[in-house]
Amino acid sequence: MAVPMVQLAPDLSVSRLCFGTMTLGEQNTLPQSFRLLDAAFEAGVNFLDSAEMYPVPQRRQTQGRSEEYIGRWMRARNVPRDRIVLATKVTGPSGQMTWIRGGPKSLDANNILEAINDSYVPMFGETDYDPRRQYGSVAIEEQLDALGKAVDSGKIRYIGLSNETPYGVMKFLHISNYMQSSPRIITVQNSYNLLCRNFDCGLAECCHHESISLLAYSPMAMGILSGKYFSAGGGPSDARMNLFRGRYSEGESRYNLSNVTLKAAVEDYINIARKFGLSPASLAIAFVLIHPLVASAVFGATKVWQLREVVEARNVHLTSEMTAEINKVHARYPNPCP
């Protein structure tokens, strides 16, 4: 049975599992990337997620390679363009990636349009807003106007936000409502998993009332929910948190393996999975997919067997007993990964 579909817009249908491609070109070679994309497509996944900065950890030598590998795969496999829904993201200001347009100082029209052609929020893994760290502010009107031009020219179909706050979502919606011909926000891509349910604290209410779907990234919490990092030896040497230890500050800031609360929560979730005869991965993916506002779970995989395990999780049904036990663990260890 193929991965089920969901209607994001009247003319936009996507699979409920979205293959995140940020490992393509770094952890995965071109042939390996082709095999992963083949397996995802054969399983009925028509939704691919990328970003102009990918792969990660981001560096000058590999920037743009994930998008390139997707394009090379589509050409090599003769995949019709209308069979794939490709989501990608513009690099925002961070002060780090100087090789991307000199290090974007802001998300202004030039940066947006240049990213398509060739408002600060807390960055990845942060929970507190610090006004002292605000980057150059750009009018949302300017951003929406640039995106609207890209829609009108046929370069993109719809727009969404990523790593956004309730204030940011509502501000974009408020302005788009009075801007003539402004494209409407239809999705927000934020982290959501058993270890990070911050979406439910404010942003879920906005999305519910404004008919915005969540594209939940990191449903496996960067693989931590599999339990592999807390096994004997600390997990496989080629697992991302081991392979890039000390080089992946964004991931390590959120997923701190030395956090005792994090470890305790993961152990409890693994025990729930075992109690009900599930793999930890199946429990993690199924939990995300039952959320009424989640349109698609954006997952990553570096091996075909990992991808297939995620795809199989679409058949898992979480009972009320299972969700009650999950919520008890969440009450004990609320959001150990921000």
Place of tokens 């998008």: 67
DSSP per-residue string spanning 6-57: EEEETTEEEESEEEE-TTBTTTB-HHHHHHHHHHHHHTT--EEE--TT-SSS
Distance between CA atoms of residues 235 and 94, nearest Å: 31
The pLDDT assigned to 247 comes to 80
The residues near 306 (Cβ < 8 Å, ≥ 6 apart) are 281
Q: Assign 261 to helix, strand or coil.
A: helix
167, with CB counted inside 10 A (0-12, 13-18, 19+), is middle
DSSP per-residue string spanning 191-254: E-BTTB-GGGTTHHHHHHHHT-EEEEE-TTTTTGGGTGGGSGGGS-TTSHHHHTTTT-HHHHHH
The pLDDT assigned to 26 comes to 96
Distance between CA atoms of residues 265 and 253, nearest Å: 17
Helix pair angle (140-152, 109-117), 10° resolution = 30
By residue count, the chain amounts to 338
Specify whether 54 is catalytic: yes
Distance between CA atoms of residues 300 and 50, nearest Å: 11
The pLDDT assigned to 122 comes to 47
| CB burial string 195-204: b at 16+ within 10 A, e below | bbbbbeeebb
Place of tokens 């009247």: 10
189: its two tokens:
């891509």
| Predicted model pTM | 0.92
56: its two tokens:
């990660």
Whether the link from the prior residue into 55 is cis, omega within 30° of 0, is yes
Return the number of other C-beta atoms located less than 10 Å from residue 302's C-beta.
19
Residues of the chain with pLDDT under 70: 1, 119-137
| CB burial string 105-143: b at 16+ within 10 A, e below | ebbbbebbbbbbeebbbbeebeeeeeeeeebeebebeeb
Instruction: Give me the sheet containing 185-191, strands edge to edge.
Output: 85-87, 47-49, 17-20, 294-299, 213-217, 185-191, 159-162
Whether the link from the prior residue into 336 is cis, omega within 30° of 0, is no
Residues facing 214 on adjacent strands: 188, 294
Distance between CA atoms of residues 17 and 40, nearest Å: 9
The pLDDT assigned to 134 comes to 57
Distance between CA atoms of residues 31 and 157, nearest Å: 30
